[in-house]
Amino acid sequence: MTSRHLLRVVLPAVLVLIWLAIAGVTGPLAGKLASVSSNDASSFLPASAESTKVAEELPNFTDTDYFPAIVVAEKDSAMTPQDRAFVADTVGRFAGTPGFAERFSPAVPSADGLAVQMFVPVSTDGKPKEQIGELRDALANPPPGVTVAITGPAAQAADLSKAFAGIDGILLLVAGIVVLLILIVVYRSPILPFVVLFSAIFALALASGAVYGLAKSGTLELNGQSQGILFILVFGAATDYALLLVARYRESLADEPDARTALWAAWRATLPPIAASATTVILGVLCLMLSDLNSNRSLGPIAAIGIAASLLASITFLPAALALIGRVAFWPKVPTAETGASHRIWQRVAAFVSRSPRKVWAGTLVVLVIGAAFAPMFRADGVSTDDFFLGEVESVTGAQMHARHFDAGSGTPTWIIVDEGSATAVAEKTRTVDGVASAEVLTADMTPVTHDGRQAVQVTLADDPNSLVAQDTVVAIRDAVETVPNADAIVGGGTAVDLDTRVTAQHDRNLIIPIVLVVVLIVLIVLLRSLVAPLLLLATTVLSFGTALGVGALLFNGPFGFPGADPVVPLFAFVFLVALGIDYNIFLMTRAREEAHKHGTRDGMIRALTSTGGVISAAGLVLAATFSALAVIPLMFLAQIAFLVAFGVLVDTLIVRSLLVPALTLDIGPRIWWPGKPDPDTARDDRSPAEGDGVLPDPSDAR
């Protein structure tokens, strides 16, 4: 066996076998990611947050091994003893069973006599979804006229877990089906789409295994949102890289009779832009590590691992599989020297842009600016925790029932930890704050509970503890207790956690966005060895983000009826749109630079647009479709991220990269590469942009 035969046959076979082995080991771990993830908001906060400090001290005063579920029953007429007995007896049977405390509160009637409530402590170490599910099943058949719901922190955690439960199954299924259908349409082949899909699946297996190991060891904080974004990123990125390689391979096959030689040429040509693209995304998402929120900080390396796995699968498994299959991969339309590489549609687009580039970029710029003008209307100051869910959720409807008959904050107290001797003064000061129903020093046997010279004040809020109004009340409480001398008071609890999370997310947004811009700009400068082109590409990508944000504001505030957005929504949308959106400009401009060295900047851009238009548009469509799959998870912030990224990618792919950037490049001419210089043989680029308008390279030469 010759060394050439070894390289051409045995090496690809070995690579495929290695990937099969990797997938066999790490693939099953994708389904186990939920077992090492946490959706507890308090675990995402930094140690410096005031509510985090309270959470550290609170176990010294009260049992924090359980968090409450609130069973509330209401009736249009007065609750009868039988109605109250149904709630008390049914719920009481769970006391002392696995996942529940030994003792529950009694069934407490409301002042209006129309409702009853019970507080049920649920273990924080168990699976609240299972415990709450058991309670809901037991209460499913109440007496006639009685409506029962379960709310409170434990019920909300259960509903959140239920919402994220679709990530392992339905999200992957939807994303996989969407990608497969698009690939079948793009390739019109029954073979090639599955090769590309397997490349994405193997990348996901590798990424899942790495993330599982890091999360299980405690190195990373994994949550449902990070898990969902990981799946989508890997599917989208791996497919995008595959599309670029396969498209260049198809072009090479039209010139080269030997399939493996054509594949090698395509691999060498596409490796630099694919690697540059992956590097840009990895560095962009790693900027999230500067976040003060643990959830955001962990998403950075998790997303980076996904992109790295996508790159590795795309440059090893995919070419190895294509080498083994050969031209048959494109069956039934196998490319040959006779068929050539057709780019008719994109020839027309290039002709349209080249005829009047200034009019094209001015027109598209106006359209994008109009969309971006609505971006200031985007409301991202935070939403009520109850608004996280899409559709009707029992913990939300239960909270509304509870608020109609009881102090809304009962069962979800706000806690103040103070120095001994100041607790009474702090409690009195807290009662004067609007929105506070009660504030009492925590006692045991009529004696204040004291630990290391500290005491606790339990505060009941009058408003829904999940609401923004309740968060404003916490701010007022913090301001009030600061005026109590020698109290050293800190305010925490569930509402304070939501408040601190929102404030920290706003800080992260303002810090990370500028840093991402600088990092991406540096990568582009190094890649293109230019200053003008990187600034132009970055500006157009930011403009497409602004347009997506403006259109999103119009739709979210109007037809979609969203009450607002979490501060993390524009941050995530920006990071992914800039990092991923710049990819398509990298694919275009690296090809334009390659062609410019042979044919000059003008013809180089026309050739680059003609040859890459189809594949980049398909890649953008795949990425938009995969991000859209996030909308199957019934959580508002994921649906908002899905829309913003999907719409922004389409704008960037179909308008910015197809019209705006080529038109600007044609109008600017060779100066686009400044301070670099065009090749000495391309002095003809010094002609005016109008010269040669509409003159395009022959289709067979567009490669």
Q: Which residue has the tokens 């990187």?
A: 534
CB-based contacts of 60: which residues, under 8 Å, 6+ apart?
451, 452, 454
Lowest mean pLDDT among 532-536, 571-575, 697-701: 697-701
Domains of the chain in start order, with CATH, are 1-36+168-341 (1.20.1640.10), 63-162 (3.30.70.260), 399-499 (3.30.70.60)
How high is the pLDDT of residue 645?
A: 92
Q: Which residue has the tokens 């706000």?
A: 414
How far is Cα 121 from Cα 314, in angstroms, rounded to an integer?
A: 50
CB-based contacts of 211: which residues, under 8 Å, 6+ apart?
33, 220, 222, 230, 302, 305, 306
For 113-126, the pLDDT digits (tens) are 999 999 999 988 76
Q: Decide if pLDDT at 688 tops 60.
A: no
- Cα atoms in the Cβ-side hemisphere of radius 13 Å centred on 186: 28
For residue 120, the cross-strand partners are: 69
How far is Cα 311 from Cα 199, in angstroms, rounded to an integer?
A: 10
How high is the pLDDT of residue 512?
A: 92
For 315-357, the pLDDT digits (tens) are 999 999 999 998 888 888 777 655 545 567 888 999 999 999 9
Cα distances (Å, whole numbers) of residue 439 to 117, 413, 456, 497, 584:
20, 10, 10, 19, 57
CB-based contacts of 522: which residues, under 8 Å, 6+ apart?
none
Q: Rounded mean pLDDT of 174-191?
A: 87
- Yes or no: say if 579 and 280 are a contact pair by the CB < 8 Å rule: yes
For 618-652, the pLDDT digits (tens) are 888 888 988 898 888 888 988 999 999 999 999 98
5 confidence band (pLDDT: 50, 70, 90): low
How high is the pLDDT of residue 524?
A: 87
How high is the pLDDT of residue 696?
A: 46
Q: Decide if pLDDT at 178 tops 50.
A: yes
Directed axis angle between helix 224-253 and helix 153-164, to 10°? 10
681 confidence band (pLDDT: 50, 70, 90): very low
How far is Cα 498 from Cα 508, in angstroms, rounded to an integer?
A: 15
What's the chain's average pLDDT? 87
CB-based contacts of 468: which residues, under 8 Å, 6+ apart?
382, 383, 384
Neighbours of 190 (CB within 10 A): 10
Q: Rounded mean pLDDT of 11-37?
A: 87
Q: Is 461 exposed, middle or buried (0-12, 13-18, 19+ CB in 10 A)?
A: buried
Lowest mean pLDDT among 200-209, 384-393, 593-602, 682-691: 682-691
Q: Decide if pLDDT at 701 tops 60.
A: no
Lowest mean pLDDT among 41-50, 223-232, 413-422, 475-484: 41-50
How far is Cα 229 from Cα 237, in angstroms, rounded to an integer?
A: 12
Q: Rounded mean pLDDT of 392-398?
A: 90
Q: Decide if pLDDT at 41 tops 80.
A: no
Q: What angle do CA 665, 666, 667 make, to 5 degrees?
A: 90
For 133-169, the pLDDT digits (tens) are 999 999 999 999 999 999 988 998 888 888 877 666 7
How high is the pLDDT of residue 683?
A: 42
How high is the pLDDT of residue 297?
A: 86
C-alpha closest to that of 41 among 330, 520, 403, 382: 382
- Cα atoms in the Cβ-side hemisphere of radius 13 Å centred on 234: 31
- Yes or no: say if 501 and 44 are a contact pair by the CB < 8 Å rule: yes
Measure the N-to-C terminal CA separation of the chain; round to a whole number of Å. Answer: 35
Directed axis angle between helix 224-253 and helix 294-315, to 10°? 20
- Yes or no: say if 128 and 122 are a contact pair by the CB < 8 Å rule: yes
Q: Decide if pLDDT at 700 tops 60.
A: no
How high is the pLDDT of residue 408?
A: 81
The fraction of the chain above a pLDDT of 90, given in percent, is: 47
How high is the pLDDT of residue 445?
A: 80
| 492, containing H or E segment | strand 490-493
How far is Cα 256 from Cα 262, in angstroms, rounded to an integer?
A: 6
CB-based contacts of 114: which residues, under 8 Å, 6+ apart?
74, 75, 76, 77, 78, 79, 405
Q: Decide if pLDDT at 371 tops 60.
A: yes
- Yes or no: say if 619 and 244 are a contact pair by the CB < 8 Å rule: yes
Q: Decide if pLDDT at 702 tops 50.
A: no
Q: Decide if pLDDT at 403 tops 80.
A: yes
- Yes or no: say if 563 and 640 are a contact pair by the CB < 8 Å rule: no
Confidence (pTM):
0.85
C-alpha closest to that of 604 among 594, 614, 596, 615: 596
